[in-house]
Amino acid sequence: MHVKKTILICATIIFAFSHFAFSTTIVILDQHGKPLVDAVLEIPVHQAENKYSDTPLMMDQIDKAFEPIVLIANKNSLVSFPNSDDIRHHVYSFSAAKTFELKLYASRPKAPIKFEKSGVVVLGCNIHDSMVGYIYIHDNTFAVKANAEGKVEIADVPASATYFYLWHPDAVQGVDHREKLPISILTSNKSEVTITVNTKTPAPRNTFGELSKHAH
């Protein structure tokens, strides 16, 4: 089934640069003109060195919420899930990129989790259904997350890049969808580029038990 494109592109302010050595600001908004914090922009050109580290990244739990809501991780990264609340949490995921479960615990689990596959991992809590988090795992590429103003700063795009991906968990196409866009949008002599992503209100979370039934 053909999926209608829902991303609109507009660009403003001319800025001259030589080749691909330049600096530009990408502003990512929803269809209502509101900044899309936590949108991820990925340029799928492999880095010279693998960027993952033996030091675990942190996906904390604070005030019954994941912190950060979106965590960017290189493939094969370790991620620790500390619990900074004074109540216990039960973290899980049924995502194709990583299925795991950290049963009811306080403080910090014994060992971090390794994420060997690229993709989006959706996190939930068995005890608190409203808790939703995401780990965006990329394959040693350039990936950056939009700030609270929906902005991403880009400089020195590799000359070999021909396209980039744009992702947000609330995009109308679904959490696993990455919009593929031409790299010329980022290298078109503009100092600022605005990208509008159509989003939807997230559906209420199901309980852990209901998800378990559908997973088998």
Q: Residue 49's pLDDT is what?
A: 65
pLDDT tens readout for residues 28-40:
999 999 999 999 9
187 vs 213: CA distance, rounded Å: 47
Q: Would the CATH topology of 7-45+149-197 be identical to that of 57-138?
A: yes
7-45+149-197 — its CATH code? 2.60.40
Average pLDDT over residues 3-30: 53
pLDDT tens readout for residues 51-72:
667 899 999 999 999 999 999 9
Q: Residue 214's pLDDT is what?
A: 37
26 vs 11: CA distance, rounded Å: 9
pLDDT tens readout for residues 141-164:
999 999 999 999 988 788 889 999
Cα of 134 vs its chain's centroid, Å? 7
- Per-residue tokens: 19: 């080749």
Q: Residue 209's pLDDT is what?
A: 44
Q: Whole-prediction pTM value? A: 0.82
Q: Residue 188's pLDDT is what?
A: 76
Q: Domain-by-domain residue ranges, the chain? A: 7-45+149-197, 57-138
pLDDT tens readout for residues 72-93:
999 999 999 999 888 888 999 9
Q: Higher-confidence residue: 18 or 45? A: 45
CATH 3.40.50.410 fits 57-138, yes or no: no
Region of 81 (left: φ > 0; alpha: ψ -120 to 50; beta: rest) is beta
Residue 188 half-sphere exposure toward CB, CA atoms < 13 A: 16
- Per-residue tokens: 8: 């609109």
Q: Band the pLDDT of 201: cuts 50, 70, 90.
A: confident
134 vs 208: CA distance, rounded Å: 16
Whether the per-residue pLDDT at 17 is higher than 60: the answer is no
Q: Band the pLDDT of 5: cuts 50, 70, 90.
A: very low
186 vs 67: CA distance, rounded Å: 29
